[in-house]
Amino acid sequence: MSDFRSSPVRSFARIALSVGVAALATQLVGCGKKAAVDEELAAKLTQPVASVSLQAAPAAAPGSRTGEQIYTSVCGACHESGAAGAPKAGDKGAWAPRLAQGYDGLVKSAAAGKNAMPPKGGAADLTDNELKRAVAFLANKAGAGFKAPD
């Protein structure tokens, strides 16, 4: 009969025990430590499936805006409400003395600014023709018959 201490079963048991202890040791080494995370990979894997991008509407080419577009975007803020003493659009009584200056007089006044209104209504990017279109549009709302340039 062979001695158990030198038997193949005993050798296998020692090997199995050694492997088990080694496996357990590798598990315990990282115990209590934060796992290393690849932040770039984590961000890539958690990206949303869709995104929304908002863009401003394309601006009109310089010089191509109509009198109504300019009135709506620049002049209407004051001339609709009468803010800072601005004559309201369509108020024939308030506009009568201004219309008496004639079209060229109104354009000159709008270009230079008047009372609380800054030059060109604060829209420094207006071309001369755009300013003329806006003046004609606003004055015509009060009954003038001015022809705006094309």
> Which residue carries 């932040």 as its tokens?
39
What does the pLDDT read at residue 17? Answer: 77
CATH superfamily assigned to domain 67-142: Cytochrome c-like domain (1.10.760.10)
Give the domain ranges of the chain.
67-142
Query: At residue 66, what is the residue type?
Result: T
pTM of the model: 0.61
Please write the tens of the pLDDT for every residue from 52-71: 777 776 677 778 999 999 99
Q: Which long-range contacts (CB under 8 A, 24 or more apart) does 61-69 make?
A: 62/125, 62/127, 63/127, 63/129, 63/130, 65/130, 65/133, 66/133, 66/137, 67/130, 67/133, 67/134, 67/135, 67/136, 67/137, 67/138, 67/148, 68/137
